[in-house]
Amino acid sequence: MATYTAIPSGDLDPESPITTGLMTALDANVEGALAGLATFDVLEAAYGAGSIPAGAYKALSIANGDVANTTITGSKLVAGTITATQMGTDSVHRDEIASTPSDQNTPIGSGDGTQAIISATGGDWSLSWFAGTDRSTSDSISIGPKYSSSARHTDVTFVRRGATGASGTVYLHTRYIPASPPWNLGHGDIPLFVQLLTDSSGSIKGAYIAEDPPWYGYGPHSQSGEGRLLRSVGLWGVSIKSAIDGTSGITLNQYFERIKALKLMTEEEKNKIIKQKFTMEEKNKDMMCVPHLFHNVAEGDKVVMIDPTSEICDQLHMMHKYKTQGNGVEDDISSLFKSGYLELYGGSNHPTAPPGVEIVSAKWKLTGGK
């Protein structure tokens, strides 16, 4: 391509002659300008490397196909540059929002007023839930969220109304916003958490099956951006009541001063706090507080977790993620154990487990079921 040549102003005054050199430079510059539209060589020479003057592009002149994949990444975008005004109406759809399913179940007794509680996976990050029972209890259960001083507001409570059926199992299927994957307990990425509540004979009473662990969304350490902001001004864990009563160690005025500090933070300061990637240590901080979500662990019961780095756990993850919705217990992983298609055996070499939870191995039992 022709090289751009800057023409001195002295060659362009009225008294200057038209020379071969002048015309050669003009010719080369015109040729370079036309050829350089695709490479920006001329624009770089005229305006400085990396600079494109305002108005260089007509509206809609850059099509989607002109931008190579992965060329615009998060690090190229200044915090706050993409807001609601930059997104067209209906531009964010279901597929742009990450969500994943969770399956849980627990036993319920046969007596009138008997209760069973299942805490929804993800806590506040749960989007929706669907609850039901097995056939033996389907005519005598009322279901609803529970909110009281003794229960989490994301708990779903099943209450027995009448004693017309036998004891059975209640089920909760939720869809929730997952945490930043992957999870790791120090010995490899974990595709799926499968925790089972077993009785003294080894029979399975309840199950927790999700891509995120039970402690995600629960415990004293918030894993949300808002929680990080609150901690940044020393507000996390301090309630208005405790500030008024003087039991939190700060006065009410100090409490509101901290809220004011949060309000006055710049977007850049907030972004540094919220967008910082969680470390695995932070993600697993609540494991010691919430090792599992089973509410009815009786004496002799045991909570076990299938070795999360085993091949079978990876297979179960694929089944869980891509199972056909609407097939009920036919596609429920816990029912495969209850029906004899899968069985637990022995311990596992996985060295890390939530407190009070035993890591075990599992295998397919090709007997055609029981």
pLDDT, tens digit (0-9, with 9 covering 90-100), for 314-368? 999 988 888 765 555 556 788 888 778 888 887 776 778 899 999 999 998 865 5
Show which of 86, 120, 141 is a domain's final residue: 86
Any domain includes 4: no
Same domain, residue pair 203 and 290: yes
Query: What's the domain count of the chain?
Result: 3
Same domain, residue pair 163 and 231: no
Whether residue 248 contacts residue 234, with contact meaning beta carbons closer than 8 Å, is answered with no
Decide: helix, strand or coil at residue 74: helix
Query: What is the per-residue pLDDT for 79?
Result: 63
Which residues of the chain, if any, have pLDDT below 70? 1-2, 32-56, 74-75, 78-80, 135-140, 145-152, 163-165, 222-225, 277, 324-331, 349, 366-370
Question: Which bin fits 27, alpha (ψ -120 to 50), beta or left (φ > 0)?
Answer: alpha
Any domain includes 94: no
Strands (E), the chain: 100-108, 115-119, 126-133, 141-148, 151-160, 168-176, 183-184, 189-190, 193-198, 204-210, 302-306, 342-347, 357-364
Same domain, residue pair 108 and 191: yes
Q: Print the domain residue range for 298.
A: 102-218+285-364
Strands (E), 86-150: 100-108, 115-119, 126-133, 141-148
Whole-number Å distance between alpha carbons of 296 and 116: 8
Fill in the amino acid letter for 270. K
Whole-number Å distance between alpha carbons of 186 and 283: 12
Any domain includes 2: no
Same domain, residue pair 196 and 108: yes
Give the predicted TM-score (pTM) of the model: 0.69
